[in-house]
Structure 1
Amino acid sequence: MILKGSQRGGAVNLADHLTNTRENDHVDVADLRGVAASDLHGALQEIDATSKGTKATQPFFSVSINPPEGARLTLEDFKEAARAIEEKFGLTDQPRAIVTHEKNARLHAHVVWSRIDTENMKAIELSFSKLRLREVSRDLFLQHDFEMPEGLRDREKAKPDNFSPQIWQQAKRIGEDPRDLKRIVSDAFKDADGAKAFQAQLEGHAMQLARGDRRGFVVVHHTGEALPINRYLDMKQKDIRAKLGDPAHQITVDQARSLLNSRMTAQAEKQLDDGKRRQDADQGKLKDQVLQMRGEHRALREALKTAQEARTASEALERANRLRKGLGGLWQRLTGEHGRIAKQNADEAEQATQRDAGEREAMRHGQLDERALLQTSITAMKEKHLRETNQQRAVLGHWLSMDKDTQREAIKTHVDQIETEKRGWRELRDERAKQGKDRGRTP
């Protein structure tokens, strides 16, 4: 299982994030330990309150546990994984919460521990957390006999595709997959020997190299969005400048947008708009199916919960009635029957708990299988849309590249602007130097 962890604060924000039912099909606060509260918000606020007696600003250690696609784990499996993590980090018996999420037919869990050692009133140190989580992850893959990812076997082969929320939101706005954009920008940069060759590669994808506001490079998408090139290349701007030169020699973002807009034909815009409408219609149909299935599955789970609670109450009453009161109860104690019945009741209660958990797991896994069938259609649709987007981008890039005169005109205007600015600075420098000499000759 892939494990990702971080230390963090913000009890309310963390609880809001973990109980978000808009982005997830199902959310279940599956286990709370070491807290008096019976809900996640109360539990995390309780831990946060405890941390006020220390200097800790990040009292939580949050870890996501992600099984491979198609794996069907139980709550007990996640608890075992949590125990392996806390043994590695010295968090055994620390207050803890486990929350399970189901999204896109995949089940994963989030575990949040308190870092606060209440006996010594200080935060538990969690050094080398990535390395230690990596070791636990390997053990879990072997334990469950899952196929281990290549990047987990060899760190050099790990794929750094962890985009920030800002990058994901930007890509969503322009109807792109950030992984696809990263592939395009990375391939173009790798094959280029300078800014001119890099721009030629980008042009084929209807993109334009430009300089950003902070003396760095950006790539302007044909929609006008400025993509932070360093985020897609996983490189620092100084290393990018070593290959592409001074960003000042490139046109500005506004000039790049104007250039792309001026070269967009009505036919190109119509094709893009028509493609976007078709894709939105496809997505709308499947989204409606997802929402309908989500509602039906939630209703079934609520009905099961209600039925189990009623059965639990009935069985508890039946077990309680076995223990008599008054003289009958005294006789049971004298004959030892009371102890036998108490043990029988405890055993039956434990069996009932396991039975109910099994029913919930069976329903969950059945619904995940049903949701997986729908997800297959969604994945196929996304792959189809990606092919269409790549094709549209390539055609648009071809049309834009045919208008070389417009590009040369824009670059010439930009070069002239730079030369004008340089002349202005030289004249200002010479004027200030002359004024300084004049003041030096004044008696």
Structure 2
Amino acid sequence: MIVKESRIKTKSGAGAIARHVLHGAKNEAIRVLSGSEWLLHDHMREAHREGLKYGLRHIAFNPDEAMTDGQLSAFARRLCEELHADPEHLTLVVHQKKGSTHGHLILPEWQQDHVLESRFTWMRMEKIARLEEIQLGHKLVAGRHDRAIAKALRKAGRHHEAEQVYALVPVSHDAKPRAAYTSEARRITERQGLDLPALKKLVTSLWSQSDGLKAFRAALKDHSLILREGDRKETRPGAHIIDADFSHLRQFRVIS
């Protein structure tokens, strides 16, 4: 399961996130399991009263295998527990697209008596995702923080889970490509009729099936993709990107 987090500035208001999550035209179906559009705007008003820079936390999660609405709701509540957020104030929306489902969890930054936690949240959410996959018997999805997650699980006495997560760590710390694209890049490519998350998934799959760089390059070529040196080699030496035959993808760094 892939989990991504973003923070929405108070001055931006809740309009854009409400339109995206509650009225996204590209989805086959939208199910509101908890919360409402009114609640999102109310959270923003509270953040403004408290003088907070950020008003909402948007957490999107995309399971690789099917999950019921009940399982998605339970996972959202476990994320709330990890971040010390009140689950009574969450908004949870499930999108269905091309036969698969993904969830959008939106939390208020202002939690009535404290601000929502923001320290190491990417790693902590990945940890909850790995534990959810283990509990449901799903295939574990490798993430950027598996080494640290395994260490934290061992410290908590969860040795069985720690070993399963540690098995995801590549032999070389830099051996696995890291997906890297911005939400802006995703929106641009969507307007051009491209599916950037699908491209990321394809690249990751090709890498996992390749026994070396030469085989990886050959697999990419079969999909009209090539590996080349990144544009920011002065500031990020050794970075590489996936460059497609179509020129409008060249501005996006897909792996590094």
> What interval of TM-score do these two structures reach, taking the shorter chain for normalisation?
0.5 to 0.7
State the alpha-carbon separation in 1 of the partners of residues 243 and 129 from structure 2: 39
What amino acid is the match of 2:56? F
CA 20–155 in structure 1, closer or farther in 2 if over 3 Å, else same:
farther
Q: Work out the CA distance in 1 between the residues paired with 2:124 and 2:19.
A: 28
Per-residue deviation, residues 320-347 of structure 1 (Å, max 9, x unmatched): xxxxxxxxxxxxxxxxxxxxxxxxxxxx
SS in 2 for 1:116: coil
Distance, in Å, in 2 between the alignment partners of 1:219 and 1:141 is 29
Match of 1:164 among 151, 176, 182: 182
CA distance in 2 between partners of 1:3 and 1:219 (Å): 22
Distance in 1 (alpha carbons) for counterparts of 2:225 and 2:137: 45
The answer as to whether partners of 1:94 and 1:113 remain within 8 angstroms in 2 is no
Counterparts in 2 of 1:12 and 1:174: CA distance versus 1, 3 Å: closer
Give the whole-Å Cα distance in 2 for the aligned partners of 1:211 and 1:134: 27
- Deviation of the 1:149 alpha carbon: 2.3
Deviation per CA, 1:233-262, whole angstroms, max 9, x where unpaired?
52xxxxxxxxxxxxxxxxxxxxxxxxxxxx
Question: Where does residue 134 of structure 2 map in the other structure?
Answer: 142
TM-score of the superposed pair, with normalisation by structure 2: 0.63
Alignment partners' CA distance in 2, 1:211 and 1:79? 40
Give, in angstroms, the shift of residue 92 of structure 1: 2.6
Q: May I ask how many residue pairs the two structures share in their alignment?
A: 207
* Residue 46 (structure 1) aligned with residue 42 (structure 2): yes
Mapping of 1:261-300 within 5 angstroms?
A: none
Quote the residue 1:23 is aligned against.
26
Cα displacement (A) at 1:22: 1.6
CA drift at 1:49: 0.4
Partner deviation per Cα, 1:295-325 (whole Å, 9 max, x = no partner): xxxxxxxxxxxxxxxxxxxxxxxxxxxxxxx
Between the aligned partners of 1:145 and 1:4, the Cα distance in structure 2 is 22
| Cα separation, partners in 2 of 1:104 and 1:54, compared to 1, 3 Å | same
Task: Give the TM-score normalised by structure 1.
Answer: 0.39
Distance 1:206 1:142 in 2: 33
Runs of 5+ unmatched residues, structure 1: 33-39, 192-201, 235-443
Q: Displacement of 1:55 after TM fit? A: 2.8
Match of 2:16 among 13, 16, 30: 13
Percent identical pairs in the alignment equals 15
Structure whose residues are more often strand by fraction = 2
Residue 210 of structure 1, CA deviation: 11
Selected match of 1:132 from 105, 124, 131: 124
Q: How does 1:6-405 map to 2 (within 5 A)?
A: 6-9=6-9, 10-32=13-35, 40-69=36-65, 71-74=66-69, 76-93=70-87, 95-119=89-113, 123-151=115-143, 153=165, 154-156=168-170, 159-165=177-183, 167-168=185-186, 169-170=188-189, 173=192, 178-179=199-200, 225=248, 227-228=250-251, 231-234=253-256
Q: Does the CA contact (< 8 Å) of 1:3 and 1:134 recur in 2?
A: yes
Offset at residue 218 of structure 1 (A)? 9.9
How far apart in 1 are the matches of 2:88 and 2:7?
Answer: 15
User: What SS does the corresponding residue of 2:6 show, helix, strand or coil?
Assistant: strand
Tell me how large the CA RMSD over aligned residues is: 4.2
Contact kept? 2:179, 2:254, Cα under 8 Å: no
- Counterpart Cα distance in 1 of 2:78 and 2:101: 19
The residue type equivalent to 2:7 in the other structure is Q
Cα deviation, residue 28, structure 1: 1.5
Alpha-carbon distance in 2 for matches of 1:225, 1:149: 29
Whether the aligned pair in 2 keeps the contact of 1:64 and 1:111 (CA below 8 Å) is yes
Answer whether contact 1:94 1:115 (CA < 8 A) is retained. Answer: no
Alpha-carbon offset, residue 113 of structure 1: 1.1
1:64: how far off?
2.0
Q: Report the equivalent of 1:392.
A: none
Counterparts of 2:61 and 2:85, CA distance in 1:
16
Larger helix percent? 1
- What's the secondary structure of 1:82's corresponding residue? helix
